[in-house]
Structures are given as structure tokens and as C-alpha cells.
Structure 1
């Protein structure tokens, strides 16, 4: 039977029809839309609602199970719900390779999990991504066991999970912008709407989903004294007192508006996380941040002095990086550390549950300097050997 995602899965979400429809509409809005990638051509298809895509890859019973699971508190944030929905589609593609037309949880056997993990590691997939997808399928299994009144089945064991390195090397994939690079990025903004997004993302060390979902009802007061109630990861509400200068920019952008989303594009549409990603990527390339000297956009005139260098684009260059919302978050937390802010205060500002997560940013900054300092300290022990076996300028003369 083909699922009809326009019909509510009533018994899974509520008993009264109107309440079930409200809950179903809310889930559809929370999951949002995504552009699925064709597994053969690797091209992105037009954007579609995640709920519709789930209805296509799951049988009806599993679809009801998945929607109930995503509507529960198993995923505490909208971003987590979307990641879990994408993970289900990923597992659907995995079991389809085993000959299953549609995704069912029973098709994910221990043997499939083990083979999948080895294949993902061979393809160079990060341990964090592998663990997240394993956690998603285990969470779904736990939810089904709870719904059926059975004992949870340990679908994913500790032997299936790769070890995740939480040291500096693990977070080094997120670059940090220096002060001059941030200023160039801000200078590249095309209008005040873009500038407000960049300034808020950096100032609050905010996650992109937190900023894009913030309504004007979260903004207290106006003028040079304003506060923002930001709903952070896990549903935690944190109140930020914005700098007076930033409050003035907020007033300029709002232009008397009293309802709707806090962040709107110049055309009046609300910013989505994809809009912010694309905007920061564009601004980073325009300001030539995180790019190698040879990078060239392929549009307009080549930068002066690059005529004799190899011609390649940002998309094909492996040394070029995109500026992302997380780059701004990592930059703010790192700059706080540079300014001597205590670890506990940085952790609280970032809303990290585990101080080890915060330490990752700090260690990333300090790792090279600490290693260089400790290596240099060894010289005092064997300096006399160096003096004996190395040639100084005086002896060479």
C-alpha cells in the first residue's frame, strides 16, 4: 500500500481528528523541506517535504511508527527531528540495496549494521556521522519496543560504534576566522538584513536553526536597550542582552514591524538555515575568506596577479572552505578564550552540556602552541649535544 502523507496517522498522534490534523501539520512544518540527492547522478532534485519523502520510502506501519517517533520527545529540537528524518531515508537506501522495496525496522539486522559500518568507514565517513545514524535507528527501535510494551532490543551494541575523537583534531574541521577576516566578511554584506544575520550569529554564538526560528515575540523592548529570548538546543530558553549598537541595527531592520520572524530577507521572506548557509558561502567567497590563493569563482574578471596561476574554482578546490554558521559560532567561542574568559563562562554562553565540547574549541586554538612550547623545553636537556654536532656561523667562517 502506498502511503498518503496528506492523511493524518490519527491513532499515532491523537484521538480527536482536529487535534491529530494540527499535530500532523506541526510535524510537517517542523521537518521542513529538503532537496534529495539522486544516488546515481549525484544531482539535487527539487525541494520536497521530508514527510512526503518518508511516506515514499516506508511501508504504512513503519511510516506511522516513524511519525510517532519524530513527534515524541526522542528528538528534542527541530534540527534533531530533521536529522533523524534524513537518517531514516538513509537507512531506507541501505535496506533497498538488500532487496527491500520499502523501509522496515526489521530489515536493519545486526549483519546489515556491521556491513554498513565497515562500508561507511571505507568511504571515509566520519565517526560522528556513523554514530549519529546508529543512534537514530536504535532510538527508533527503543520507541517501537516502548509502544508495544516490550523490552528494548539492543539493535546497536558498543561493538558497532566507532570511537569518536573529542580532542582538538576532531573539531579542527571547523575553521576559526580571525578579527580581520570577520570584518571583511561583514563588509561584504549586500544589505542591512544580511549584516544583522552575520552580526547576531557571531555575537550570540548561535546555531543557525535557533536564529531562523526566533520570532519578534522573543524580542523584549526596543531602542538601545533590548533583550532576546533565544530558544537553544534542547528547548532551553536563554535571555541575551544585546549591545546597544546592535539594538539600533535591529530597530533599523524591523522598521516598525511587530510580528513575524525576527530575521527576514530583503524581499520579506523569512530566512531558512539553507538561506543562511548559501549567504555565508557567497559572502566568504566574495571576501576571499578561507580560500587558497589560486581559487577563482569562474565569474567576472580574474583577480589581479592571478593570470599565470592555475585556473580552478571554489567547487573543485580541495583547499578552499565554505564559511558556515558554525564557523561563526566557533570563532566567537575561540575569541572569548583568547580574551581570557574562563572555561565555565564559555561553556555557559555556548550552552554546551559537556565541558569537553567547549574544551575542543580551546584545545584547537592552543594545541599547536602548547606542542611547540613543550618541544622547545626539551632543548635545554641536550643543548650541549647540539653544540657539539652542529655547525655554527663562527666555526663555518
Structure 2
């Protein structure tokens, strides 16, 4: 049970995040769950619901107990780090408003999770994947639809949610697309001719009405296409091609970044195309060798 005073403060913090930083709904919900989990634990840990006084008197041992509790529940190191980030943000904001020292919360650091290196497809495998998906479905329009989605993932570096979030009004793809990604962050991506052709083929073959204010990619019942159907199509394709289980829709996004960088693309430009807030995240999406990375840096920053 969270004390009403803290519950109200949490909602105020989230409301300010949405108003001032454009916090996306899903992000706001995740932050609420993260902070609420901690406040519930802290109340139980201290023997009952308390207000801000519980945060004023919080010790490092309280945070360590919370982290141990979450790990015992099976929370991954990465998820725990995200949860601690939300807790730090809330406690820092509340401390500033209420006038108390939040150094215990602000100095909290979670366990380091093992970085999972992405496994992009080779350029040939990526092209083979698109071809295999296109020949998978019995209905020509469904085959064209799935091929168009996969082409957008690889050719534009879109997340599957971003591709399936396109609207009917965008069916005639322009030279550039404005994409709203995670956290409401907008970016502009150039549209390759191959992607424009793939989407046009799908629209031409689709027997269903694609409303301008509705989803561009439709399921057979006329609703928005489910990400799971695209995943299944790729699963069948990769089995036929003998590709590993890591050949997923998101792997095509990895491949987009990796192949651009390997061809000499600028890391900062690729960061913008992917919509990453941090350059280090973009580096994690690329699987080229260190020597290739250094070549790119040398070209961007030639020595005298």
C-alpha cells in the first residue's frame, strides 16, 4: 500500500514528465510501475505505509534490500537498472520539491547486465529473407504485404512497431518519412526506391479498403496487421534459408545500421536514422570489426 501523499506525488511527477519532456504513455506507465514497486516494498520494509518521511530516512541498506528482493523475483539486471533510474528520477524531483537530501537514492547503482551483442544478417541473407517472405504466403497480396514490411525494416531501419504504425495516408511513400519512435522522439528517414515499390505493390494487390486515417498494413480480417504475423513469416523463411533463430524482425534493423557503417556511413548520421538518444546505443547496434570503426573515425577526423 502506497501512502496517499506519495501516490499523489508520483502522479504529479509523471504529469510533469509528460508535459515538459513529452514522456510517451508507455514510458509513463513503465515509470509508474517501477516507482510504485519500490514504494510498496519500502512501506512493507518499514512496517507500514508512510509518506515522504520514508524517503527522507531511507538508507543505502533499504535500496540494497529492494534490489535483492527484485533479483529474487527474477528481474533481470537490465530491468532493475531501468527501475532504479525511475526511482532516482522520482526521488530527485520530490527532494527538490520537499527540500530533503536524496543523495542515497541518487547514488544508487544497479548490477551491470551482460551486453547482448546483436547478430545482424549479412547483406545477402537480408535480401534472401525478403525474397523468402515474399514467396511464403498463398495469397499474393499477403505475400506482397509481408515483403513490404520486411523491406521497411531493412531498408529504412524501422522498428516493427514503427512500420506497422504507418497510416493509409502514407501509402504513396514520399521521399522522406517522419517517424515517431520510442519516447515520442521524431526522426526523418529517407525512403529507398525499393521500399516505395514494395509498398506500392502491396497497396495495388490488397483487396481490402485502406483508409487514409487507418493502418496501412492490414490483416486478412481488415484490422491492423499483428507484429506476431510478421514474426511468424520470418520464422518460416529463416527455417527454409537455414538462418539462425536470431534472424528476427529486429535483426533487420541491426543489419541496416551495420551495413551502413561497414560501407563507410557516418556514425552520427546512423544514430539520427535509428532515432537513438545516445551514440553508445548506436555503437551497440553495429557489428563491424574494430578496424572498420577506426577507419570511419579516421575519415571523419583526419589527423594533420
Q: In which range does the TM-score fall when normalised by the shorter chain?
A: 0.5 to 0.7
Preserved CA contact (<8 Å) 1:117 1:160: no
Unaligned runs of 5+ in 2: 294-304
Alignment length (residue pairs) = 274
Aligned CA distance change for structure 1 residues 213 and 280 (closer, same or farther; 3 Å): closer
Matched residue of 1:365: which SS? coil
Contact 2:31 2:86 (C-alpha < 8 Å) held by counterparts: yes
CA 1:66–1:198 in 2, change beyond 3 Å: closer, same or farther?
A: farther
Question: Match of 1:361?
Answer: 285
Aligned to 1:161: 110
Q: Is the CA contact 2:22–2:184 (under 8 Å) kept in the aligned structure 1?
A: no
Mapped pair 1:243 → 2:192: yes
The structure having more radius of gyration, on CA atoms, is: 1
Q: How far did 1:114 drift? A: 0.8
Higher RCO, 1 vs 2 (CA within 8 Å, ≥6 residues apart): 2
Instruction: Give the aligned partner of residue 84 of structure 1.
Output: 31
Matched ranges for 1:250-269 at <5 A:
250-251=199-200, 252-253=202-203, 257-269=211-223
In the alignment, the residues of structure 2 paired with residue 101 and residue 197 of structure 1 have an alpha-carbon distance, to the nearest angstrom, of 52
Distance 1:227 1:201 in 2: 15
**Are 2:15 and 1:71 equivalent residues in the alignment?**
yes
Decide whether the 8 Å contact of 1:280 with 1:323 is kept in 2. no
Q: 1:99 to 1:69 in 2, by over 3 A?
A: same
Identify which of 194, 202, 210 aligns with 2:146. Answer: 194
2:61 paired with 1:114: no
TM-score by length of 1: 0.54
* RMSD (Å), alpha carbons: 4.2
Name which of 254, 262, 271 aligns with 1:338.
Answer: 262
For residues 239 and 83 of structure 1, the distance between their equivalents in structure 2, rounded to whole angstroms, comes to: 26
Shift, 1:342, TM fit: 2.8
- Is the 2:14–2:28 contact (alpha carbons within 8 Å) kept by the matching residues of 1? yes
Structure 1: gaps spanning 5 or more residues: 1-56, 294-319, 371-397
Q: What SS does the aligned partner of 2:187 have?
A: strand
Counterpart-to-counterpart distance in 2, 1:124 and 1:368: 38
Change in CA separation of 1:151 and 1:63 when aligned onto 2, cut-off 3 Å: closer
Cα distance change, pair 205–143 in 1 and its aligned pair in 2 (3 A): same
Greater per-residue helix proportion: 2
